[in-house]
Amino acid sequence: MKDRLWKIYENWEIELDKNEWYFSDCYDELTENLSSSDAYDAIPAVLDVLLHVKDTYLVNETLDFLLIIYNIADTTEVHPILLAEWHEINRKLEQMGDSFSVSAWDELRQMLRIT
């Protein structure tokens, strides 16, 4: 999952100029036929990408994809890797986040019932 997500992020600006639904289309392809357990197992890979992207737009996109993955996983269980990386993710959002990423992060926290 991680390699496929990084591949999507290559030349994303060019692809987005050509297709405004680029990320949505790619995410649909990535998650097609993904079981709930496979989605849950993919969470660490998505978190790894989130912690390593260097662009605010991609932070936002990765948070969006994390929400998609959690919805497919159909659980409110907080993945242990998410717990382990919680402070690092917060630090990343403080450095690179914007109002969109804060909103997406809040949505995930509400979904997972984290206060």
Q: Is the dihedral of CA 41, 43, 45, 46 positive or negative?
A: positive
- Give the global pTM: 0.95
pLDDT at site 81: 97
Q: Tens digits of per-residue pLDDT, 41-52?
A: 999 999 999 999
What is each CA distance from 32 to 49, 67, 72, in whole angstroms? Answer: 20, 15, 10
- How many domains, the chain? 1
Query: In the predicted model, what is the mean pLDDT of residues 5-21?
Result: 97
Which range of residues forms the domain containing residue 107? Answer: 2-111
